[in-house]
């Protein structure tokens, strides 16, 4: 039996995947309400294929509890936010989970940390904790790190098909953990040491952040001199070794906008391009605000209340709002005291999270003159004709109606 600790965006699909492939699983979360929801037969967020996977896991006997189990393998998938001031990883959830495991685990148990951590976190935060309790690592407890690589929106597919990395203190434990993940993972599984696995994970997301920042910087340069950034990227990408990503209103989500900060926090003075990329991507919501103001001026619009923001999530077709560029824009508007009457709509966000939020596309469009497309949900891609008489600022390059403004 394995005990998956933390049943959020990563822990839940991972636990379900193991169970659906015949592994005996208990999922543990300290959030009682979440556990009750799962026990009542409901999933806790929307994701392609998740409900089907849940049904399969339930029929295979997965259980959910708010208590840690006594077993010989634990997978820890709790959040690892970053400290906004020091920029370093906040490992307190991982520490707490490991402490709780130590209360109940038998001698020789393995703890696999799935949560993304900065390089050295397991050495600095986890090992001392275990040793302080008098446990000998490698005898009483084995450690491994198996960072996930799944993209929200395509998690279930990617869990199965992506290759993955497992870091362990010795080959034997590495192979044992690899064999477990091989129950569902069809991609290549590379076994390495823990620090290399930690670093690799953070490097992957940093690579993407830097590449998005390049596209965003190009958008700003092109805007300043009236060039079409999309046409330039389209043509440049015909070069066999060039693959420029897409500019956008900013980088959200709990991964790409967070992980590079770990390197900035741990290697100040060395992480220079990484820091610049973070600053460029973080500046995009303000850049969009400036575009809105310019376009309003150009169209002699004075009534800020007639502007509608389409999209609250951090990217298309997911319900996740963490670090969302739209929320950052709204915060910024509040700081500049111009946010009062802006209208907002997102088909994936049923609850009221901001002021003047709509829950129906037609009602939203009726109340605005200008629409700012911030997220490219399929809903709006399929209903573009409804924007025909609006002033449109498209930050995602999804609208091709005449007169559409771009970043
Ligand atoms: N974005 C752009 N332009 C682009 C691509 C993305 O502006 O060309 C924006 C998106 O709109 C979004 C943000 O960047 O706001 C990040 O979105 P994403 O879809 O690129 O990535 P995430 O954060 O959903 O998932 C990433 C993935 N990492 C990589 O692609 C290297 C995923 O594989 C990881 O598992 C995940 O982070 C994680 O958990 O670490």
| CB 248 less than 6 A from any atom of ligand 1 | yes
- What per-residue confidence (pLDDT) applies to 300? 87
- Asked whether 390 and 376 are in contact (CB, 8 A), the reply is no
Domain 2-192 in CATH 3.40.50.720? The answer is yes
| pLDDT for res 301 | 83
Cβ(119) – ligand 1 distance below 6 Å: no
> Do 208 and 281 contact (CB within 8 A), yes or no?
no
**Are 325 and 248 spatial neighbours (Cβ–Cβ below 8 Å)?**
yes
Give dist(CA 41, CA 290) in Å, integer: 46
In short, whether 253's Cβ falls inside 6 Å of ligand 1 is yes
Among protein residues, the one whose CA lies closest to atom 37 of ligand 1: 255
Of the residues 176, 178, 201, 315, which is catalytic? 201
**Residue from 322, 211, 209, 324 nearest 263 by CA:** 209
CATH assignment, 209-406: 3.40.50.720
Is residue 201 part of the annotated active site? The answer reads: yes
Closest by CA to 157, choosing from 76, 62, 53, is 53
Residue 245 CB less than 6 A away from ligand 1: yes
CA of 304 to the centre of ligand 1 (A): 31
**Which among 94, 118, 111 is positioned nearest to 200, based on CA atoms?**
118
Catalytic status, residue 255? yes
Which residues of the chain register pLDDT less than 50? 339
Question: Tens of pLDDT along 89-138?
Answer: 899 999 999 999 999 999 999 999 999 898 999 999 999 999 999 999 99
Domains 2-192 and 209-406 agree in fold = yes
Residue 405 near ligand 1, beta carbon < 6 Å = no
How deeply is 115 buried, as exposed, middle or buried, from its count of CB atoms within 10 A (0-12, 13-18, 19+)?
buried
Q: Which pLDDT value is given to residue 303?
A: 66
* Ligand 1 atom nearest 162 alpha carbon: 33
pLDDT of res. 135:
96
Q: How far is the CA of 356 from the centre of ligand 1 (A)?
A: 28
Ligand 1 geometric centre to CA of 278 (Å): 14
The residue nearest atom 22 of ligand 1, judged by CA position, is: 151
Q: For ligand 1, is residue 204 a contact (CB within 6 Å)?
A: yes
pLDDT of residue 149: 94
Distance 252 CA to ligand 1 centre (A): 8
258 ligand 1 Cβ < 6 A: no
Give the Cα separation of 102 and 68 in Å (integer).
10
Specify the pLDDT at position 83. Answer: 81
**From the alpha carbon of 316, which atom of ligand 1 is closest?**
11
Nearest in space to 310 (alpha carbons), one of 299, 293, 325: 325
Domains of the chain: which residue ranges?
2-192, 209-406
Q: Is 27 in the pocket of ligand 1 (CB under 6 A)?
A: no
Considering only CA atoms, which residue is closest to atom 7 of ligand 1?
A: 248
**327 CB near ligand 1 (under 6 Å):** no
Catalytic residue among 105, 185, 222, 255: 255
**For ligand 1, atom 9: residue with the closest CA:** 251
**Candidate of 197, 208, 217 to mutate for ligand 1, largest count of ligand atoms within 8 Å of Cβ:** 208
Cβ neighbours for 243, distance < 8 A, ≥ 6 positions apart: 237
Atom 27, ligand 1: residue with shortest CA distance: 151
Q: Can you give the three-state secondary structure of the chain, one letter per residue?
A: CEEEECCCCCHHHHHHHHHHCCCCEEEECCCHHHHHHHHCCCCCCCCCCHHHHHHHHHHCCCEEECCCCCCCEEEECCCCCECCCCCCECCHHHHHHHHHHHHHCCCCEEEEECCCCCCCHHHHHHHHHHHHCCCCECCCEEEEECCCCCCCCCHHHHHHHCCEEEEECCHHHHHHHHHHHCCCCCCCEEEECHHHHHHHHHHHHHHHHHHHHHHHHHHHHHHHCCCCHHHHHHHHCCCCCCCCCCCCCCCCCCCCCCHHHHHHHHCCCCCHHHHHHHHHHHHHHHHHHHHHHHHHHHCCCCCHHHEEEECCCCCCCCCCCCCCHHHHHHHHHHHCCCCCCCEEECCCCCCCCCCCEECCHHHHHHCCCEEEECCCCHHHHCCHHHHCCCEEEECCCCCCCCCCEEC
Determine whether the shortest distance from the Cβ of 315 to ligand 1 is under 6 A: yes
From the alpha carbon of 207, which atom of ligand 1 is closest? Answer: 31
């Amino acid at each position: 039996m394995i005990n998956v600790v933390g049943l959020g965006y990563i822990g839940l699909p991972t636990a379900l995947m193991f169970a659906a492939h015949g592994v005996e699983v208990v999922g543990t979360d300290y959030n009682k309400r979440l556990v009750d929801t799962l026990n009542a037969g409901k999933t806790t967020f929307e994701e392609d294929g998740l409900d089907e996977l849940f049904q399969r896991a339930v029929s295979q006997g997965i259980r959910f509890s708010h208590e840690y189990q006594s077993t010989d393998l634990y997978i820890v998938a709790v959040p690892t936010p970053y400290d906004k001031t020091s920029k370093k990883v906040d490992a307190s959830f991982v520490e707490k989970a490991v402490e709780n495991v130590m209360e109940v685990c038998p001698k020789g148990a393995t703890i696999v940390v799935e949560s993304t951590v900065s390089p050295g976190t397991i050495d600095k935060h986890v090992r001392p904790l275990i040793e302080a309790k008098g446990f000998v690592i490698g005898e009483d407890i084995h450690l491994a790190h198996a960072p996930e690589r799944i993209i929200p929106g395509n998690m279930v597919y990617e869990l199965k098909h992506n290759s993955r990395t497992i870091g362990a203190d010795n080959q034997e434990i590495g192979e044992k953990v690899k064999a477990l993940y091989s129950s569902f993972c069809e991609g290549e599984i590379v076994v390495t040491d823990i620090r290399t696995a930690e670093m690799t994970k953070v490097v992957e997301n940093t690579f993407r952040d830097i590449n998005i920042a390049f596209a965003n910087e190009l958008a700003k340069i092109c805007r300043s001199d009236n060039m079409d950034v999309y046409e330039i990227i389209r043509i440049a990408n015909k070069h066999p070794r060039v693959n420029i990503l897409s500019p956008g209103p900013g980088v959200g989500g709990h991964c790409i906008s967070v992980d590079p900060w770990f390197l900035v926090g741990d290697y100040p003075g060395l992480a220079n391009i990484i820091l610049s990329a973070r600053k460029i991507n973080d500046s995009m919501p303000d850049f969009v605000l400036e575009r809105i103001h310019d376009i309003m001026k150009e169209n002699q619009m004075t009534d800020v209340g007639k502007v509608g923001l389409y999209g609250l999530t951090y990217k298309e077709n997911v319900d996740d709002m963490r670090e969302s560029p739209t929320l950052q824009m709204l915060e910024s508007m509040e700081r500049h005291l111009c946010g009062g009457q802006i209208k907002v709509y997102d088909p994936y966000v049923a609850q009221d999270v901001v002021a003047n939020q709509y829950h129906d596309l037609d009602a939203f469009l009726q109340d605005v003159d200008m629409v700012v497309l911030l997220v490219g949900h399929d809903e709006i891609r399929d209903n573009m004709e409804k924007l025909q008489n609006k002033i449109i600022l498209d930050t995602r390059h999804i609208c091709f109606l005449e007169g559409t403004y771009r970043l």
